[in-house]
Amino acid sequence: MKRQLDGSKCVHCGKCSENCSFLKKYHLDIGDHEHLRALSYHCFLCGECTRVCPIGIDGRQIILNMRKEEVERAPYRLKQKGYLPLLIEKKNYIFKNYRRARSKKLLFPGCNFPSFFPKTMALLSKLLKERAGIDTVYDCCGKPIAELGLFREEERILERMNRFFEREGIEELVLLCPNCYYHFGSRLSVKITTIYEKLSELGDFGKLRLDGEIFLPCPDREKKEWMKYLSPFLSGELRYVSDVQCCGLGGCAIVKEPELAKGMAGRLGSLHRGKIYTYCGTCAGNFARNGNGEVLHFLPLLLKSGESADFRHSWTNRLKTRFL
């Protein structure tokens, strides 16, 4: 179905509010344009409204555009409060580290996987270096800044990366994070590859025989591109979680809606008692932080690191990447 950005076409069927705790809380649907404008930073940008809309209204993009419009109104700035720590860290990522970037192909893990899974990160970095000569760099893709509506800063981040890639002759980035993957899209000057494609090239890691459910991260729920590359590593009875909207960290909305965010993370544990698997470091870390210890990331399982999400030391782990 073709996507559209005209919220006035909404037929008020209620599908979006049925599937979104934010819309439900404020008794809104995606057609309530003016109310949504006032609450745009309360949205988790998970895209669930878009996926269920019977006429293809892209609610996620509509809300994101509202944020950009608010920032753009003179003078250009983020007028919303509560985001200073995020801006200090992410605007010009304070932990970025390119000192070992000597290869033409680079491992780009993003922010959160190294934060929550430092042991697995070290194993993976060593593996790719030894088997494929791939060095590791640490940086933020810029998605959190983009989701705040700071489109000028978003472009600066991408321009900075592209200048480096072009200057150093970089040809390919291997990504661990589906958020980075969909945020970059085709906007980089290099090829982007998922870690599961690269592991398939490097050798036989066997199959994980698993029984449980898979929590799909928000950006991959529709296309399931990452699942396509991950599937060759999986066997057993695996089903998708379909009744949890988001891990709670989408859209930077936790600043405005901490209770909704906590409720999303807690809902997984209250409704699903067995093993849950995911391929998003952010989801795995936030679920663990909210008491869902049975949520496991596929990479530690594949690499046999025995590591669970280290949410208690996530900031310290991220700091350490600056000095690797």
Please, what's the largest Cα pairwise distance for the chain?
A: 56
So what's the pLDDT on residue 95? 98
**Is the Cβ–Cβ distance between 95 and 138 less than 8 Å?**
yes
Interatomic CA distance for residues 258 and 271, integer angstroms: 20
Q: Inter-axis angle of helices 151-168 and 59-72, to 10 degrees?
A: 100
Interatomic CA distance for residues 283 and 218, integer angstroms: 9
If DSSP codes are grouped into helix, strand and coil, which group holds residue 201?
A: helix
Question: 275: which strand partners?
Answer: none
Query: Pairing mode, if any, of strands 191-194 and 172-175?
Result: parallel
Residues whose CB falls within 8 Å of the CB of residue 162, separated by 6 or more in sequence, listed in order: 188, 189
Q: Inter-axis angle of helices 118-132 and 195-202, to 10 degrees?
A: 50
Give tens-digit pLDDT for 188-227. 999 999 999 999 999 888 899 999 999 999 999 999 999 9
User: Cα angle vertex 121, ends 120, 123, to 5°?
Assistant: 65
**What is the token pair recorded at 1?**
């179905």
Interatomic CA distance for residues 179 and 62, integer angstroms: 19
If DSSP codes are grouped into helix, strand and coil, which group holds residue 277?
A: strand
So what's the pLDDT on residue 314? 97
**Is the Cβ–Cβ distance between 271 and 294 less than 8 Å?**
no
Give tens-digit pLDDT for 262-294. 999 999 988 887 899 999 999 999 999 998 878
Interatomic CA distance for residues 176 and 38, integer angstroms: 35
So what's the pLDDT on residue 306? 95
**Is the Cβ–Cβ distance between 301 and 211 less than 8 Å?**
no
So what's the pLDDT on residue 305? 97
The domains of the chain, with CATH numbers, are: 7-72 (no CATH), 89-199 (3.40.50), 205-311 (no CATH)
Phi, psi (rounded to 5 degrees) for 297: -90, 145
Interatomic CA distance for residues 124 and 136, integer angstroms: 9
CB atoms within 10 A of CB 267: 19
Residues (pLDDT < 70) of the chain are none
